[in-house]
Every structure is written in structure tokens, then in C-alpha cells.
Structure 1
């Protein structure tokens, strides 16, 4: 045997042995709580199944929930006996969970892939980082718009009265729309949302529903509504699935960056396997796979994503994102929610 090859062969054998040992240590069932619907379908295929293949002794049970606020409610009700090990939900909700002690801290020793995340992904030192990036968009029915709209102001066009689905707070689609409306009006939302609230109240009579069911994407595709607010990743996916009936518009006035975080639940029953899953979910391969599957922008700087997919994610539109401190926004959530209920939604009745 060539003596020059011996060190390399030994190193390869040692690495293989380490991987096998690591796989043997990571075992048991964990429960992941995350978004239902198409998110669940794509996440299982792109992330969970490859993780289970890598760690044969692990079973990831996906518990689907429709909204971040409902996930937070579940964590609160189970605080004494958590039934979830890992949770994926929006950043404003995770910051509340951090504050209430519902989520556990993570370190680079626990999750080595933290070292390769882009700066925007580190939401709060020591806690769950971003796992996906997305942005708020206006959805439109392409048959109703031979010329695609370009401005947020289309939501105030009386020509579409009764044909709009606008998701209100407590969803962050509602708080995001308020911030975008403030930008359109030249208002500094960090000081006041009086002007944007009044403007959204003017829009309210045009709205067919503030609680789209089954979802805004379906309502626009089937023509029940012709305009809606939604998320770019799902919008891009459904644009393809609908054969082009659904259009996706990033308003010229700008949008907001939506961040989903991945978190270890305090008191998780299988924390070591949960940490291994979080590490895999943040890996370049998992990040690239989910971006290609559903157009969420990756958070790992080493993820290799096709140019075609990148162009349809927020990664190609970061210069159009409005500044928004989600930690600060979380402190305004209750007050803004009341504004939506009392001033905006009520104006449509």
C-alpha cells in the first residue's frame, strides 16, 4: 500500500466511525410543531425524511398548527409537561416565548451550523435562530388583472370592493401591512400608526373577509376574491400549481422581511435529538432543499441554491425590504391588535 495514502485512509475511517457513533447517539422520537398545509408537506419531504435517513434511530412527529399564535398558546398550556420538542413559528412569537421562559437557549456547541448563518438569522443571542426568510406580498387573480398591479394602493381601488381577502392581526400579515401602509404614506410607524390605521379603515369596506378560509391563495385562485395579502414563498408555489392563475406582486413601496425561527422547547423530553434536528434543519443541504421546494430564502450562507429559485425568494429582493425590528414590534402587538379590531375591521361592518 502507498504510505502516502495511509493517513488519508485512516482519517476517512475515523470520520466514518465518528459519523456512525453520532448517528447511534441520536435516537428516539421528537415532536416538531410547525405550520400546517403545504408547509408541512414540503418540509417533511425536503427536511424531515432526509434527517430520518441520516439518523435511522429517530422518528420526527410533525404536529401541524395553522398559526404562530396558536402554537404559542399550546406551549403555554403545556408548560408543566411539554408535548413538543421543537417549534417553528414567526419571530415576534418566538421573542414572546423567549421572554416567558417557554423556549430553551442554544449554543454553537449544541448546534454547530449556527456558525454559518447569515447575520440577519441571529434573532436573539442564545435562542432559536431564523430557519426561513420570506416577505409579505399582494396576491392577485391574473384573469382580473391583464396588466399586473405594482403598488400597494391597489387595495384601495373601489373597482375591487367586496373581492379582497386581507388577513388581519394577530397574524403578522396584519402588522406587516400596517408598516407597509405607513411607508406608503410617509409615516414613521415607530412613532405613530395613526395615519396608517385611518388609511386601512378606509380600505375595510372593500374587504370580503379579514379571516380567509381555507386560505387567501385558494380564494384568489378560484376567483372568490381577486386581491389578497399573503407570503411570497407560498404565493410562488401556488402560482406554479395554479398554472399562472395566481399572481404575486411585491409593491413598489416596499415589503417587510418575515422570519420564522426554529426553537428548542424548554423541558423538551428528548433535547439532544431535538438539537440534532435543529442543527440539520440549519445545514446547507436542508436549507437549499427547502428553498428549491418552496421558495423560502435560506439562512445558511453556505447553502447552494439555483439562480432560478433565488430570484423568486426574498434573497433577491432584500433592497426592497423596509426596516422592521421584530423585537420592538412584539412590544406593540397587543396595542396594534386592538387598533385592528376597533378601528379597522369594525370600519368594514
Structure 2
């Protein structure tokens, strides 16, 4: 009987200890991109962080784009449910202006001190966590020679075979800016009429402005033949499709895209969220994610392999069109309205 009593007491203590550990564990809710980004980021950053910090659990809440993330933050403003958000810098600016975020600096997040200067964006509470650029995508089984121009998307041979993530997705906006400059536009903050007109020429060929699950899969499968997408995701899909996806940088150039990591104001995770952000910006996590998905790192101390860095946005810096995403955020809505009026109606 005594032995049974000891076992019962031991089991009770073990249960109590487990319950205590569970209560002590903090949870950080990370809102970030779905699909391939989620798969690679969870493995390269989230899982190693939790292994190093067993008292913190990171729950990944996937969203398809930054605009929807902002919508969620607005809806939850009175009672935030997310702690950390990874989103496009222009949307991060909007969230900053609406006081939805907490300022990240090196006092609370020491690894900020090691970021490239371009990773700290004036008047934005978050900081850059990845750099990327837009590329033209094509199915190599159908398109034997890489297109030379973005306007090749308007070629009648691609009728019904173009896939472009349209606005409010920043990829559609980026394409407008590239086309506007290529056609002689001088100030995208005043108007992008030439860019909108160029997209209007491409629109009749567009099969979808909402490729699902992603534009890369749509083109690899042959559902579409050509389109636009981000270099980092394209590089991964080139590998996983055994080269069936092709990616090229057309003559008109590209734009630099910045994803920021942000702490939600009033989020329940608090100190644990700050700890995760610091890890995500550190050289170990930056190296792991760059080598897993080919986003250019924002931490200057990250030691990236030459093979990986050659496939990131770094290789295209000489063809990048300068864009002030923060200033652009103020005119994004008018551009969206022009898109709705003059581009979408011309689609198939």
C-alpha cells in the first residue's frame, strides 16, 4: 500500500509540475505571410527560437497579404490578439500612423544596432526584417526564351495566360511604378497615369489578379504561362519545380521591397514578443532564413553563404528603381482607385 501511495504522490507531483510549467509558458502570436513563407519561416526561425526558449510558444497566424493583416489589426485595436506582425513597409507605416504598433529600437531590441541603415525606416515603428525585389515569372516548358520586357506580358500570345497579384497587393502596385517610370513618368507621388495605362494594355491577357494558392504554383502547373512575383519565393519554386519555373529581371528594372517586423501595441505577449523580435533580427535567424528562402538579410553581421546571397535581391541592386514607400503610402489609395477604374474593367 505504501508503494502505491508513493506512486500516487509522485504522479500527483509530476502533474502539478507539468501544470505549473504550462502556466509559466508564455505565448507569442505571430501574424505573417501564409504559404511558402510560413513553411520556411517556421522552420528557419520560429522552431529554433522555441527550442532555445522552451518557456515561450510561438503561434503562427497566417495571412495572404499585408492589407489583410492591417485589417485584422484595426479590427482588434481595442483588444489585440496578435503580438508580432511581419508586413510590407508601406502598410507598416499606415499601422504606425494609426498607433497600432509599439516602437522597436535598440533599447528594447539590441539586435537593431546591427541592422543596415536602410533597415531603419523614418516614421515607422517596425524595422526591416527582409529585403526582396519583383521579377517576371514564366513557365520554362512553354516559354523557351526569357522575356526581355515587362510589356511582353501584353503580347497576344499570352492571352488568358498572365497571372499577376493585383492591388491591393503590393506586387500589382510595384508593377505600376515600374511601368510608369519606363514610359517616362517623372513623379509617382503626383500621378502614375502612364503606369496605369501600361497595366491597362496587359489587363486583357490577365487570367487572374488573385492567383491561388500562389502565382508561382499557378505558373508551374501551366494554368498560367507568365506573371509577376517576388524573387525570394521564385528562387525556392525554381528549385522545387526542377527548373519548370523561370524568373528574370526585365530591361525596365525592378523595385526593392521591404518586409518589416512589428510589435503590436497592447499585444498580450509583451516581453516574450520583444524577445522573439530580437531573435528574428539576429545574425543566426537572418542567416537561416536567407539560406532557406533567399530573402536578402537586414542584419549586417549575418554570415550568408555566397551561393545564397547571389540569388537574393542583392544581385539586382543596379537595376532597382528608387521608391519612397513611406511617401507612397499617402497616395496608395488614389492609385488603387485608378486601378479599379482603368485596369480591372479591361481584364478578360
Q: Give the C-alpha shift of residue 186 in structure 1.
A: 2.1
Whole-Å separation in 1 of the counterparts to 2:122 and 2:300: 18
| 1:56 aligned to which of 54, 57, 62 | 54
Q: In the alignment, which residue of structure 2 is the partner of 1:232?
A: 231
What does the per-residue CA deviation read over 1:133-158, in whole Å, with 9 as the maximum and x for residues that have no partner?
11111110011121222221211211
Give the total of aligned pairs: 324
Q: In the alignment, which residue of structure 2 is the partner of 1:152?
A: 150
Q: Is the 8 A contact 1:27 1:55 kept in 2?
A: no
What does the per-residue CA deviation read over 1:222-270, in whole Å, with 9 as the maximum and x for residues that have no partner?
1111101111010000010001000011112110111110000000112
Q: Give the C-alpha shift of residue 106 in structure 1.
A: 1.8
CA RMSD of aligned residues (A): 1.3
Q: Give the C-alpha shift of residue 293 in structure 1.
A: 0.3
Q: In the alignment, which residue of structure 1 is the partner of 2:13?
A: none
The normalised TM-score by structure 1 is 0.90
- Gap change, CA 1:124 and 1:271, over 3 Å in 2: farther
Q: Is the 8 A contact 2:109 2:277 kept in 1?
A: yes
1:86 aligns with 2:88: no
What does the per-residue CA deviation read over 1:107-134, in whole Å, with 9 as the maximum and x for residues that have no partner?
2110001111011111235721000011
Q: In the alignment, which residue of structure 1 is the partner of 2:121?
A: 123
Whole-Å separation in 2 of the counterparts to 1:192 and 1:87: 31
Whole-Å separation in 2 of the counterparts to 1:97 and 1:131: 16
What does the per-residue CA deviation read over 1:42-94, in whole Å, with 9 as the maximum and x for residues that have no partner?
11110011111211211101111111111111111111111001010111110
Whole-Å separation in 2 of the counterparts to 1:126 and 1:201: 33
Q: Is the 8 A contact 1:107 1:126 kept in 2?
A: no
| 1:177 aligned to which of 154, 157, 175 | 175
Structure 1 residues without counterparts, runs of 5 or longer = 1-25
Alignment of 1:225-264 (within 5 A): 225-264=224-263
Whole-Å separation in 2 of the counterparts to 1:150 and 1:49: 40
Q: In the alignment, which residue of structure 1 is the partner of 2:268?
A: 269
Alignment of 1:334-349 (within 5 A): 334-349=333-348
Whole-Å separation in 2 of the counterparts to 1:78 and 1:257: 30
What does the per-residue CA deviation read over 1:18-54, in whole Å, with 9 as the maximum and x for residues that have no partner?
xxxxxxxx95111000011111111111001111121
What does the per-residue CA deviation read over 1:281-317, in whole Å, with 9 as the maximum and x for residues that have no partner?
0000100000000000000000011111111100121
Q: In the alignment, which residue of structure 1 is the partner of 2:161?
A: 163
Q: Is the 8 A contact 2:137 2:228 kept in 1?
A: yes
Q: In the alignment, which residue of structure 1 is the partner of 2:297?
A: 298
| 1:46 aligned to which of 40, 44, 47 | 44
Alignment of 1:131-142 (within 5 A): 131-142=129-140
Q: In the alignment, which residue of structure 2 is the partner of 1:11?
A: none
The normalised TM-score by structure 2 is 0.91
Whole-Å separation in 1 of the counterparts to 2:123 and 2:93: 11
Whole-Å separation in 2 of the counterparts to 1:136 and 1:148: 15
Whole-Å separation in 2 of the counterparts to 1:37 and 1:167: 15
Q: In the alignment, which residue of structure 2 is the partner of 1:108?
A: 106
Q: Is the 8 A contact 1:134 1:231 kept in 2?
A: yes
Whole-Å separation in 1 of the counterparts to 2:124 and 2:93: 12
Q: In the alignment, which residue of structure 1 is the partner of 2:6?
A: none
SS in 1 for 2:166: coil
Q: Is the 8 A contact 1:106 1:126 kept in 2?
A: no
Q: Is the 8 A contact 2:165 2:210 kept in 1?
A: yes
- Gap change, CA 1:126 and 1:109, over 3 Å in 2: farther
Q: Is the 8 A contact 2:92 2:124 kept in 1?
A: no
SS in 2 for 1:269: coil
Whole-Å separation in 1 of the counterparts to 2:335 and 2:124: 28
Q: In the alignment, which residue of structure 2 is the partner of 1:333?
A: 332
SS in 2 for 1:139: strand
SS in 2 for 1:300: coil
Report runs of 4+ in structure 1 exceeding 2 Å deviation. 189-192
Q: In the alignment, which residue of structure 1 is the partner of 2:211?
A: 212
